[in-house]
Structure 1
Amino acid sequence: METIYDILKEEHEQMSDLLRQALQDGSKVSFFKVKLKADPHMMGEERIFYPVLEEINELRELMSQAHKEHDEAKTLIFEIEGMDEINEKWASKINELKQSIEHHIEEEESKVFEKARNILSQEKAEEMAQQYIEFKRSYMNRIETGGPFV
């Protein structure tokens, strides 16, 4: 059965591909594909994955850093969202977002995932995967229907 690490790693790879595409073509459409992938991913990590890891003493500092990295990415996404692709800072902001997210992915996969795998059971990682999938399904449904986020 799939674990939370499998799902997040796959989404990280998709995110990296989308960021490369956005940087390559410089279009607002490509940027919004990044945003559409990043928003529910970060929210899902913050609601499902991170709270469990924050309970573990040796992971608290890493989780604090992960939250800061998410905040940085959210700020950049918000800034880019308000820009036109003809803005002279467009490409540099997309590149800054790409570097920020790729740094976060590297830290998360090499440090957080490794420590969590040694502490959490396989069953817990599988359970979290199911919770994450359900959260994202609900999130995307709310986007499509215009429903409120809780």
Structure 2
Amino acid sequence: MQHDQHRSLYLRAGDGAEPQGLISISANSAKLGMCSAISVVPIQHGEERTMTIFEALRADHDVQRALINDLVNTEGDSATRRRLFDEIKAELQAHAAAEERHFYVPLMASDMTIEKARHSVAEHHELDEFIEQLEETEFSSPGWLVTAKKLEHRLLHHLEEEEREVFQLAGKVLSENDKELLAKRFNNELKEQKLAIGS
């Protein structure tokens, strides 16, 4: 298990990350309390890395993928279906709040990423609408599962688009220091959100 984690970590480190050199971001980012430039020191073999915002988001995305997969494979008005629905609802709510504050707000400060950031936030609202539809539908109804599968489709599309397109652009806008700082802030906010929601 430990081997898999390290392998995944180094593969994902390539998401828009610069391996070395000087990285600059817009002056607008400085207004948000971020560094405008940072000299990146290459990571030596065996050296511990600090998680980046991309890795933090991917880790939580994997939680969402697992939950939605389990949810669409439930049947009828079962305790399992209700539990998984409550879990995915809380997960999406907490994730969106933390991600918008500590990933998309900084990206909206750059012309390169502002449109992608706005688009992704709009997709969060679309996911909320599917959750509301599921709450208003009888859990035993065939229509409930149809809507759940629509939610699955939209969610997986959103996650893939974010990881393939948004991460690449964000890697050019955020400095290495930004990526690590935002990861810490995102993870802390995520924990606080989940505690507040009670998940």
| TM-score normalized with structure 1 length | 0.90
* 2:107 maps to which of 37, 47, 53: 53
Bigger fraction of residues in strand: 2
Q: Could you say which residue in structure 2 is the equivalent of 1:81?
A: 135
Q: Could you say which residue in structure 2 is the equivalent of 1:25?
A: 74
For 1:88, the aligned partner's letter is P
Aligned partner of residue 137 in structure 2, secondary structure: coil
User: Alignment RMSD, CA only?
Assistant: 1.2
Q: Does residue 34 of structure 1 match 2:83? A: no
* 1:113 maps to which of 167, 174, 178: 167
For 1:16, the aligned partner's letter is R
Provide Cα deviations, 1:103-146, integer angstroms capped at 9, x if missing partner. 100110011101111221111011001111221222223234xx
Q: Which runs of 5+ in 2 are unaligned?
A: 1-49, 76-80
Q: Could you say which residue in structure 2 is the equivalent of 1:148?
A: none
Identity of aligned residues (%): 25
| TM-score normalized with structure 2 length | 0.69
Separation of aligned partners in 2, 1:137 and 1:19:
20
Bigger CA radius of gyration: 2
* 2:116 maps to which of 62, 68, 77: 62
The answer on whether the counterparts of 2:104 and 2:117 sit within 8 Å (CA) in structure 1 is yes
The answer on whether the counterparts of 1:18 and 1:30 sit within 8 Å (CA) in structure 2 is yes
Corresponding residue pairs, total: 144
State the shift of 1:92 in Å: 0.7
* 1:134 maps to which of 188, 192, 198: 188
Separation of aligned partners in 2, 1:87 and 1:99:
19
State the shift of 1:5 in Å: 0.7
* 2:64 maps to which of 8, 15, 23: 15
Provide Cα deviations, 1:27-62, integer angstroms capped at 9, x if missing partner. 122211211211100111111110000111011111
For 1:11, the aligned partner's letter is D
Separation of aligned partners in 1, 2:147 and 2:194:
26
Q: Could you say which residue in structure 2 is the equivalent of 1:93?
A: 147
State the shift of 1:82 in Å: 2.5
Provide Cα deviations, 1:54-101, integer angstroms capped at 9, x if missing partner. 111011111121011111001111111222211221011100000111
Provide Cα deviations, 1:7-40, integer angstroms capped at 9, x if missing partner. 1101111111110100001412221121121110
Q: Could you say which residue in structure 2 is the equivalent of 1:4?
A: 53
The answer on whether the counterparts of 2:52 and 2:182 sit within 8 Å (CA) in structure 1 is yes
Q: Could you say which residue in structure 1 is the equivalent of 2:46?
A: none
Q: Could you say which residue in structure 2 is the equivalent of 1:143?
A: 197
Runs of 4+ in 1 over 3 A off after TM superposition: none
Separation of aligned partners in 1, 2:112 and 2:177:
21
